[in-house]
């Protein structure tokens, strides 16, 4: 676990949040605490619940490190936000809500994702695919506040059906739509993914002001370069080869061609059944044990590692 900060005197300008990024090396995921410097009110974005697939054990080390950061700085948590149901790690939103009481939220199209994965997992009828596992479901254009900072929600489908971008002042949390410029864009071949929709989501993000700070959901450190998770719209336009593709047709060809070569994430079948529950583990049986379901041959025949 490492923490990096984007702060300093300029961070206290109106509309400029302070951003702390927490990197989970096991899943290459970046979690964020975004804070209004005037009120010290914050939101947590895309927190990770630790999971070891070899032993089946879970832990809260990553989430607890975020809570310690919040406590040490005297912050008040206003929101626990997920950008989408993740395929490579468990969400800690449920744990953090239980500990802090802060409301949870995700994009409103999560109900479509729940319906899709309920069928894949053959979940029981008493699992409600209605988004009730979160306190609020955000639609395109919805606005809310983190302290005195205005937040705007952009529906950013393509990687998943329900992916959203949170635009907080001069910062945008773009999840897995765009990575750092040397890593291109997110894959769009998961159930419900769509490369054409991803193209339009990328264009919408690149239509934000050039100075907008973009915070991505993962960093894979290609070539062994140091960790990086912040770019700008201008930098993405200038350096990201996927952002420079001429049109939708060419982008879809590029993205689908690349996706056909990629194996599925090792935790996708483990994680989605937790994450469509708002980060809660499956209900325990009469003996007090919780179990994951792994559907065999449920995702077609993607490449193997």
Q: pLDDT tens, 152-196?
A: 999 999 999 999 999 999 999 999 999 999 999 999 999 999 999
Q: Is residue 134 included in any domain, yes or no?
A: yes
CATH of the domain at 203: 3.60.15.10
pLDDT score of 260: 96
- Higher pLDDT, residue 67 or 6: 67
Give yes or no for residue 78 having a pLDDT over 50: yes
Strands 18-24 and 171-175: unpaired
Q: Is residue 11 included in any domain, yes or no?
A: no
Give the model confidence (pLDDT) of 276-299 as tens digits: 999 999 999 989 999 999 999 989
Tokens of 53: 């697939």
**Partners of 34 in the β-ladder:** 19, 43
Q: Is residue 303 included in any domain, yes or no?
A: no
Q: Which helix (H) or strand (E) holds 118?
A: helix 110-121
> What's the first-to-final CA gap in the chain, in angstroms?
26
- Local structure of 56: helix, strand or coil: coil
* Least confident span in 8-22, 28-42, 43-57: 8-22
Average pLDDT value for residue range 58-78: 98
CB 166 within 8 A of CB 17: no
Of 264, 255, 269, the closest CA to residue 302 belongs to 264
Residue found under tokens 């419900």: 192
Give yes or no for residue 9 having a pLDDT over 50: no
Domain that holds residue 199: 18-267
Q: Is residue 214 included in any domain, yes or no?
A: yes
**Partners of 137 in the β-ladder:** 106
Of 144, 152, 155, the closest CA to residue 177 belongs to 155
pTM of the model: 0.94
pLDDT score of 1: 53
CB 156 within 8 A of CB 178: no
What are the respective helix, strand and coil percentages of the chain, to the nearest 5? 30, 25, 45
Give the whole-number percent of the chain exceeding pLDDT 70: 95
Q: Is residue 277 included in any domain, yes or no?
A: no
Of 229, 135, 134, the closest CA to residue 173 belongs to 229
pLDDT score of 10: 40
Q: Is residue 49 included in any domain, yes or no?
A: yes
Of 17, 15, 21, 19, the closest CA to residue 6 belongs to 19
Q: Label each residue of 209-241 as H, E or C.
A: CCCCEEEECECCCHHHCCCCCEEEHHHHHHHCH
Give the model confidence (pLDDT) of 112-125 as tens digits: 999 999 999 999 99
Q: Is residue 5 included in any domain, yes or no?
A: no
Cα–Cα dist 106/128, whole Å: 16
Cα–Cα dist 250/272, whole Å: 30
Tokens of 293: 């379901």
Give the model confidence (pLDDT) of 187-222 as tens digits: 999 999 999 999 999 999 999 999 999 999 999 999
Q: Read off the pLDDT band of 6 (50, 70, 90).
A: very low
Cα–Cα dist 93/48, whole Å: 8
Helix and strand element counts for the chain (H, E): 7, 16
Give yes or no for residue 8 having a pLDDT over 60: no
Cα–Cα dist 242/149, whole Å: 31
Q: How many domains does the chain have?
A: 1
Strands 230-232 and 29-36: unpaired
Cα–Cα dist 141/202, whole Å: 16
In the chain, what's the furthest Cα-to-Cα distance? 57
Average pLDDT in the chain:
95
Residue 63 CB partners (closer than 8 Å, separation 6+): 47, 48, 49, 92, 95, 96
Helix axes 268-275, 110-121, angle to 10 degrees: 120
Average pLDDT value for residue range 86-103: 98
Number of C-beta neighbours around residue 282 at 10 A: 16
Give yes or no for residue 23 having a pLDDT over 90: yes
pLDDT score of 305: 84
pLDDT score of 13: 41
Q: Is residue 247 included in any domain, yes or no?
A: yes
């Amino acid at each position: 676990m490492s923490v990096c900060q984007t702060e300093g005197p300029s961070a206290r300008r109106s509309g400029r949040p302070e951003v702390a990024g927490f990197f989970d090396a096991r899943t290459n995921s970046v979690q964020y605490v975004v804070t209004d410097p005037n009120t010290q009110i914050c939101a947590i974005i895309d927190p990770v619940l630790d999971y070891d697939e070899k032993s089946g054990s879970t832990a809260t080390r990553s989430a607890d490190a975020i809570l310690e950061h919040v406590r040490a700085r005297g912050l008040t948590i206003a929101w626990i936000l997920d950008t989408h149901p993740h395929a490579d790690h468990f969400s800690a939103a449920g744990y953090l809500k239980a500990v802090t009481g802060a409301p949870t939220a995700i994009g409103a199209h999560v109900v479509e994702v729940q319906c899709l994965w309920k069928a894949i997992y053959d979940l029981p009828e008493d699992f409600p695919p209605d988004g009730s596992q979160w306190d609020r479901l955000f639609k395109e254009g919805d606005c809310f506040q983190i302290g005195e900072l205005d937040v705007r929600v952009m529906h950013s489908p393509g990687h998943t059906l329900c992916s959203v971008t949170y635009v907080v002042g001069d910062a945008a949390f773009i999840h897995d739509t765009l990575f750092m410029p040397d890593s291109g864009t997110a894959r769009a071949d998961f159930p419900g993914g769509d490369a054409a929709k991803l193209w339009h989501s990328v264009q919408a993000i690149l239509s934000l002001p050039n100075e907008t700070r973009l915070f991505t959901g993962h960093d894979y450190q290609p070539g062994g370069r140091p960790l990086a998770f912040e770019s700008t719209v201008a930098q993405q336009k200038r350096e990201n080869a996927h952002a420079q593709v001429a049109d939708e047709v060419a982008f879809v060809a590029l993205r689908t061609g690349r996706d056909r070569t990629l194996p599925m994430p090792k935790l996708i079948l483990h994680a989605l059944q937790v994450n469509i529950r708002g980060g809660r583990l499956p209900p325990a049986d009469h003996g007090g044990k919780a179990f994951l379901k792994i559907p065999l041959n449920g995702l077609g025949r993607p490449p193997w590692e």
